[in-house]
Chain A
């Protein structure tokens, strides 16, 4: 009697193995290289790049300066004319992080720094993108 030829089991998933490998690699990359944290709102400010000191997120007042000189102080758009009054409202603790656009010209920066200086803010923290 002729026996029925047994069919070889061919797993259909075998073709997926290279895909699984790549997905695993991507997964490991994102898990190791990335940090799970909220993306910082930069208000369209393209920060300059330099690597000086390590930036650590702290509870400080933040002043964003766009390349056209427009300002955002603590999530609120302010004009340069009323920046002084807004700074006075901050009280004594005037530790300020200045996040200025890389294209911002020194003449515009100088105007803002003059206002800060007149409000007795003589120490600022400049924020920038870290170089690779």
Chain B
């Protein structure tokens, strides 16, 4: 019985294998569209409640200056969502927080269906800092009393 030699097919398959190994790309990216929340720009965001989430590299979180865990913060925001359809969440990392943690927090918030997350940008002018007291004018954003 004559048998077909396997050597040519192995050659071809090897060439195909090398081609696919070199040409294929396993890089897979993700993205998120995010608004930058400039300190000065907040006045324009009228009549919206603002939740400012500050966090440091030790993963200590503050919601509008009140220390809470991220889960508690998410719960607070979600519970408030029933009353205020329009609200803003500003994620504001402290200076020593790396990008990985910042994105993890944003990812966490977005996975909890908190979609209107903005990234806080601190102005070089200290007078432009986020003011946490509710302004008398209704045109200014209202900060949630906890």
Q: B residues 1-57 with Cβ under 8 Å of A?
A: 1, 3, 5-7, 9-10, 13-14, 16-17, 20-21, 23-36, 38, 41
Return B111 CB to nearest CB of chain A, in Å.
Answer: 8
A26 to B9 Cα, complex, angstroms:
15
Asked whether A39 lies within 8 Å of B121 as measured between CB atoms, the reply is no
Stretch among B61-69, B72-80, B88-96, B138-146 lining the A interface:
B88-96
Q: Among A24, A53, A109, which residue has its beta carbon within 8 angstroms of that of B30?
A: A53
A33 to B24 Cα, complex, angstroms:
8
A69 to B3 Cα, complex, angstroms:
65
Using Cβ atoms and an 8 Å threshold, which residues of chain A touch B97? 105-106
Asked whether A19 lies within 8 Å of B30 as measured between CB atoms, the reply is no
Of A19, A109, A127, chain B has the most CB atoms within 10 Å of the CB of A109
A114 to B39 Cα, complex, angstroms:
10
Q: Among A30, A33, A107, which residue has its beta carbon within 8 angstroms of that of B17?
A: A30
A28 to B110 Cα, complex, angstroms:
36
Asked whether B106 lies within 8 Å of A50 as measured between CB atoms, the reply is yes
Asked whether B30 lies within 8 Å of A51 as measured between CB atoms, the reply is yes
Asked whether A105 lies within 8 Å of B98 as measured between CB atoms, the reply is yes
Asked whether B96 lies within 8 Å of A31 as measured between CB atoms, the reply is no
Using Cβ atoms and an 8 Å threshold, which residues of chain A touch B13? 20, 23-24, 27
Asked whether A125 lies within 8 Å of B31 as measured between CB atoms, the reply is yes
Asked whether A30 lies within 8 Å of B20 as measured between CB atoms, the reply is yes
Number of interface residues of B (CB under 8 A): 48
Number of interface residues of A (CB under 8 A): 56
Asked whether A16 lies within 8 Å of B107 as measured between CB atoms, the reply is no
Using Cβ atoms and an 8 Å threshold, which residues of chain A touch B17? 23, 26-27, 30
Q: Among B14, B107, B121, which residue has its beta carbon within 8 angstroms of that of A113?
A: B121
Of B13, B27, B34, B110, chain A has the most CB atoms within 10 Å of the CB of B27
Supposing A27-B16, A104-B99 touch, asked if A35 and B34 sit within 8 A by C-beta, the answer is no
Supposing A30-B17, A105-B96 touch, asked if A20 and B30 sit within 8 A by C-beta, the answer is no
Does A36 sit within 8 A of B, measured CB to CB? yes
Asked whether A107 lies within 8 Å of B95 as measured between CB atoms, the reply is yes
Return A119 CB to nearest CB of chain B, in Å.
Answer: 11
Q: Told that A11-B3, A40-B27, A52-B32 touch, could you supply 17 new A-B pairs with CB distance under 8 A? A: A13-B3, A19-B10, A23-B17, A30-B24, A47-B29, A48-B100, A48-B104, A52-B107, A53-B33, A101-B99, A105-B99, A109-B102, A110-B121, A122-B36, A126-B32, A129-B27, A131-B30
4 tightest CB-CB pairs across the interface, nearest first?
Answer: A34-B24, A30-B20, A55-B29, A107-B95
